[in-house]
Each structure stands twice: as C-alpha cells, then as structure tokens.
Amino acid sequence: MSTIDVAGVAVDTRHYINGQRVASAETYVNTSPIDGTFLGDIARGGEAEIDLAVRAARAAFPAWSKLGPHKRGELLNKLADLVEANIETLANIETLDNGALLRSHLRGVMPRVAMNIRFFADFAMNELKHDVFETRGHTNNVSWDPSGVAALITPWNAPLMLATWKIGPALAAGDTVVLKPAEWTPLTASYFADLTKQAGIPDGVFNVVNGYGKEAGSALTAHPGIARISFTGSVPTAKIIAHAAADNLTPVSFELGGKSPCIVLADADLDLAAEIAVEQYDNAGQVCLSGTRILVHESIADAFAEKFREKAAALTQGDPRDPATDIGPQIHQVHFDRIKGFVDRAIAEGHNIVWGGEPNAELGGLYFTPTLVMNPAPGSEIVTSEIFGPVLVMQTFSTDDEVIAMANGTEFGLAAVVVSGDRDHAARITNELVAGTIWVNCFFVRDLRAPFGGSKKSGIGRDGGIWSFDFYADVKNTVISPNGWKE
C-alpha cells in the first residue's frame, strides 16, 4: 500500500523524488509511540533512491536558482499559506508519529513551521541585499549566490519544525533540497511534500528520501553531487557525517546535543526559577536545548527544591492527544531503554533519586516518569551525558566561580539558562558561559533573526537570519575597477 490513513488523512509512505512518488523494494515498520499502534510500512531508501533524488535536485537547480528571490518568495509564501491551512492535519499526524503534545503542535510548532518558510522567503526578498564596499574607487559587490543541492538530515524530536528550519533558508537561498527525515518520524515530511506540489514548487526542487541513517543517510552525505550538508542529531552520527563530508569537502552545518545548565542564583525569584526548571521536562525531555542540570545556590536550595517539587508533582503524564497532558511518551523502545539504562545505572551507583526514576507503571508502554537526581557525584555519567529524556539532575554551588566552572564543565555548549533578580549579577555569569544561546529569566524564546547553534561539541555553525544564508549560499565578492571601461 502506498498511502496509509493517519488520523483520518492519507499519507504517502513512498519517497518524493522529482515531483513523483517512488517506491522501494524494501520497507520498514513505523509505529506510534503513544500506544505502539502500527502506522505503516515506510519505503526504505538506499543508494539508488538517493542518487535519483540528488540527480533530480541537480537538474532542477539551474531554473530554481535563476528564478530569483521574488518569484521563489511567491511560491514559498504560498507553501507557508498551505501549511497554515493544514495546521490541524499536520499536528495530528506529527503527534501520532512522534508522541509530542498535540496542543503544542497546534499552538506552537506547526504555526512555527509556516513561519520557518515565510520568514526565510521574506528575508531573501527584503534583507539579503547585495553589500557594496568601495576600495580606492573600486566597487566590492558581495552577493549570496545559490550553491547547489542541500542535503538535509533531521531528527525525530521535532520533525517538521527542524526540517523546515533548514528547508526554508535552503529553498529561499535558491538551493534545491534532498531531505532524509528521521526513520522513526517520516510522516509529516511526506505530507509536506504534497503541499510543496500544491504550492507549485517545481518538480525536483524539493525531494524526500525515507530510510535508515546508515543506508539512505550515509548515501546522501557521501554523494558527490551535493553542495551542503545540514544535520541535526547526535554527536556520534555527526562524526560519521563529518568523515563522509571530508571526502568531497562538503561544507557542513551541525546542530547537536547538549547538557545545558539551568542556573538559579541566590537572588532569583524562586517561583519563576521553579517554573523554568519544570519546563525542562517539556517534550518528555527530548529537547536538545533543555537545561537538564539544575545548578542552585546552596543558600536557597531547599526552598527552591520545595517549589520545584510542587510543580513537578502537578505534571500530568498521559496520551499526548489529551489537552490535559503535560508529558507524553518517549519516541521509541530503543530510546526508552537507553534512558532507563542511564537511570538504572545511577540508582545502582547509589545516587539519590528524589522523584520518578522508573517507567510509569500505570501507563506502561513508552511512558517514563519525570525524574530528579539530587547531588550526583561530579563527573558521573548522569551529570555529563546527554540523556534526552525526562531526567534532570540538581546540584548546589556556593560561589560564582564554582557555578561557572560547573556550567562550562561538559563537552557541550548548546544553551544555558540563568535565573537571577540582579541584572549585574546575571551579566557577570552570562559573560563567562560558553553556549550558543543563553536565556535569562526565561526559556525557549526564539527569534528567527537571531543566531542559533552550539559551541564546543554542540555543533558547527549557526542557523537564523543571515547566518542561514551564509551557510546555504555561496558568498561571492566581485571587485570592479573604475578603469578599463570603453564607454
């Protein structure tokens, strides 16, 4: 069967290559994390399908790149309109496929998907002007030229949001695209492909190849016909992709994991701090940006912990389609077992689990209870490794120097949160933190004009505004002399 019924909507399970649906001889099974329901058999692409898609994207590149930002912008804005008209459908499909909250998909995520397309289309039309510098009468004409085929590899925790964060700027820049969505969550990308067709995006400009990372993903990153690789995922996979990219010297943009600190200073508003701390359980902890290490000044640790406990106890775990649910399931049995492994080892090592620490016995399946590990030994696995589940650690500190060393003391540098009632104090801390994004007295506020990305092992490069175009485009400087002209 080439289409499946997902939440009452027909979703194609085949690839989308050159504007056509393409099947593979092999398929793999996709199930819902909500209750294990079989969703469908998904086309399992490999080298052949990737090659077909890259060739189609290369063939479509000359016309798309020459169309110019305004004509591309018209089509991309039409695509954004179609996303907006289909928010409910996309939200329902995504929730069944990845288990994240339906209400978040409806209110935040899917509107953001439309915005990802619209923002970069408008940026290319209105902001991406050629820069002109003068040097002794010579004109330096700086332009952002389309670069070719962008290979996009995306994860399962926010599938369409993170995919369109790449698709938007790549297409707006005049590149054509081959997307390899995460194998556990292929469905919204497929539905989105239908919307690109309806919007009139020419065949071959946007392609989707489904399949496993080791098959379709590695074939894509090793393909000599691509001009860019943009990847969001784990550090070990990034290292494999970096090796593949090295052979062709393909430029890469990586957004990887984190083990971000959430710092509560002694002068913090404790209600606000507890509010922010509990947000770190969002999406069942499957968020690369989460501040999973709560670092609290010792003088307020007990008072903060009490407020944090109250808020954590009020979280409702259950079916993500229920508007009352705050925490849904983990994505997949493999991932669930990985999270449980971290917690089981922490228990075996004698760490103090203050709440949670086990699968939700009532719900069964892939539901893991929100967990807090108190004062684990510095350097222990639970403190340094990214768990990507609803597992937070809380540690105390006594001085600014100490908390700065703790905050910066992992291999990651994606994000940080600082909660403080004193602007100067907050600034003294933020100045010293190594992180791509720091939130002060807030969490998860994102502006597409601002740079986003990771320091240290959390990534290479930045997305957002001009940073996205610096990556997807070929930046060119043409120096024109005042001399030698015949007129």
Catalytic residue positions, numbered: 255, 288
Question: Which of 477, 461, 452 lies closest to 228 in space, CA to CA?
Answer: 461
Q: Which is nearer to ligand ADP, 91 or 153 (CB)?
A: 153
Q: Which is nearer to ligand ADP, 12 or 183 (CB)?
A: 183
* Member of 138, 214, 239, 446 binding ligand ADP (CB under 6 A): 214
Tell the burial category of 428 from Cβ atoms under 10 Å away from its Cβ (0-12, 13-18, 19+). Answer: middle
Query: Which of these segments, 102-110, 131-139, 210-218, 389-397, binds ligand ADP (CB under 6 A)?
Result: 210-218
Question: Which of 395, 402, 459 lies closest to 262 in space, CA to CA?
Answer: 395
Rounded to the nearest whole angstrom, what is the least distance from the CB of residue 359 to ligand ADP in the complex?
20
Ordered DSSP codes for 382-407: HHHS---SSEEEEEEESSHHHHHHHH
Look at the chain and count its residues.
Answer: 487
Rounded to the nearest whole angstrom, what is the least distance from the CB of residue 236 to ligand ADP in the complex?
7
Q: Which is nearer to ligand ADP, 118 or 223 (CB)?
A: 223
* Member of 50, 60, 153, 296 binding ligand ADP (CB under 6 A): 153
Count Cβ neighbours within 10 Å for each residue of 307-344 and write b for 16 or more, e otherwise: bbeebbeeeebbbbbeeebbbbbbbbeebbeebbebbe
Structure tokens at 332: 């997949």
* Member of 183, 326, 386, 463 binding ligand ADP (CB under 6 A): 183
* Member of 6, 52, 182, 205 binding ligand ADP (CB under 6 A): 182
Q: Decide: is 150 part of the binding site for ligand ADP (CB under 6 A).
A: no
Pick out residues in 217-236 that bind ligand ADP (CB under 6 A).
217-218, 221, 233-234
Structure tokens at 113: 């998907």
* Member of 89, 176, 207, 237 binding ligand ADP (CB under 6 A): 237
* Member of 241, 294, 295, 415 binding ligand ADP (CB under 6 A): 241
State which residue has the least CB distance to ligand ADP. Answer: 213
Rounded to the nearest whole angstrom, what is the least distance from the CB of residue 250 to ligand ADP in the complex?
12
Query: How many residues bind ligand ADP, per CB under 6 A?
Result: 17
Structure tokens at 264: 């509560």
Residue 410: CB atoms within 10 Å: 22
Residue 56 C-alpha from the chain's centroid: 26
Tell the burial category of 10 from Cβ atoms under 10 Å away from its Cβ (0-12, 13-18, 19+). Answer: exposed
Question: Which of 444, 407, 412 lies closest to 426 in space, CA to CA?
Answer: 407
How far apart, in whole angstroms, are the C-alpha atoms of residue 39 and residue 360? Answer: 24
Q: Which is nearer to ligand ADP, 97 or 300 (CB)?
A: 97
Q: Which is nearer to ligand ADP, 82 or 241 (CB)?
A: 241
Rounded to the nearest whole angstrom, what is the least distance from the CB of residue 116 to ligand ADP in the complex?
18
Ordered DSSP codes for 64-117: HHHHHHHHHHHHHHHHHHHHHHTHHHHHHHHHHHH---HHHIIIIIHHHHHHHH
Q: Which is nearer to ligand ADP, 28 or 467 (CB)?
A: 28
CB 11 within 8 A of CB 191: yes
Rounded to the nearest whole angstrom, what is the least distance from the CB of residue 185 to ligand ADP in the complex?
9
Residue 236: CB atoms within 10 Å: 10
How far apart, in whole angstroms, are the C-alpha atoms of residue 487 and residue 482? Answer: 12
Rounded to the nearest whole angstrom, what is the least distance from the CB of residue 221 to ligand ADP in the complex?
5
Rounded to the nearest whole angstrom, what is the least distance from the CB of residue 74 to ligand ADP in the complex?
31
Q: Which is nearer to ligand ADP, 163 or 305 (CB)?
A: 163
Query: Which of these segments, 101-109, 147-155, 271-279, 299-307, binds ligand ADP (CB under 6 A)?
Result: 147-155
Q: For binding to ligand ADP (CB under 6 A), which residues are involved?
A: 153-155, 180, 182-183, 212-214, 217-218, 221, 233-234, 237, 240-241
